Amino acid sequence: MAKVKIAATVDPARLDQAKELTGVQGVSEILERGLAALIEDELERIHADGYARAPQASETVRTIDKGVWADLPWDE
């Protein structure tokens, strides 16, 4: 995968917390993992919003529980 060099300004406390939680010391990997998580979260939100507008089954979705969407096999 091709990479692009960026410059970023981040909250040092948040960066330290991310390093501590993940055990990853490289800023590039922290940012890669953060971007991957953000993209996945947004795709799940978009999917859930679309499903709430037009359910695929006969039942109507009244409220969205994010926990329900977290374990669905999105590749199917």
Domain of residue 37 covers 25-70
Cβ–Cβ under 8 Å, residues 74 and 48:
no
Tell me the per-residue pLDDT of 27-57, one tens digit each, with 9 for 90 and over: 999 999 999 999 999 998 888 887 777 666 6
| Cα distances (Å, whole numbers) of residue 7 to 20, 27, 39, 58 | 22, 11, 20, 49
Q: Into how many domains does the chain fold?
A: 1
Tens digits of residue pLDDT in 56-72? 666 555 666 666 666 66
- Give this prediction's pTM: 0.62
Within a domain: residue 75? no
Percent above pLDDT 90 for the chain: 53
Q: Is residue 45 part of a domain?
A: yes
Please indicate, yes or no, if residue 5 is contained in any of the structural domains. Answer: no
